[in-house]
Homo-oligomer: A and B are copies of this chain.
Amino acid sequence: MGTVLVNVSISLDGFLAGPNVSVENPMGEGGHRVHDWMFGDAQDEVDASVLKAMEGTVGAAVVGRRTFDVGRGPWGDTPYPAPTFVVTHRAHDDLPMKSGTFHFVTDGPASAVRQAKAAAGGKDVTVLGADITRQLLRAGLLDEMYVHLVPVLLGTGVLLFEHLGGEHIELEQVSTVASADVTHVRYRVLK
């Protein structure tokens, strides 16, 4: 079975987006800064190889409702070319897009992960959204975290981890590679 993982860029102070996230501004104010390393012409060789290694690895996605709401417009499609499971309280018919179908899951994140794994054909299940990441962490449903640590302090915005609460969650550092700007660390979540 594929790995359930979150693959996320954060500022050194832990923000994955700026403040005032909206449909018009899905990364929040100034939040694009944490994603700049993925774009641009003069891309670092290490960053490029990190991105290259991700290609074709995603078999399904699990997305929080809020991430779906603000992301759908900019994406104009599923975020990955794969079936995408939206965790929500509001039932909705399947929504076929160009590269995949949005499925709306109303019976909770565990069910969404189960369905995504079944749909992923052995590839990875990627998780998008801070809330859903925390829910899956707390429920012991997240296998890995791939964190891209960007050299900036945003000061405010959407924290990936907030105060998770509860017991410590131990991680195993699987790999660290650094480009000129970004430190890419992969963790396994120990259960």
A residues contacting B by CB (< 8 A) are: 12-14, 30, 33, 137, 145, 147, 149, 151-156, 160-161, 163-173, 176, 178, 180-183, 185, 187
Contacts and interface: CB of A to CB of B under 8 A. Distances in A.
Contact of A153 (B33, B151, B171): B171
Given A12-B147, A13-B164, A178-B176, A169 B155 contact: yes
A132 B163 CA distance: 21
A171 B153 CA distance: 8
A64 B163 CA distance: 23
B187 A12 contact: yes
A161 B13 contact: yes
A170 B149 contact: no
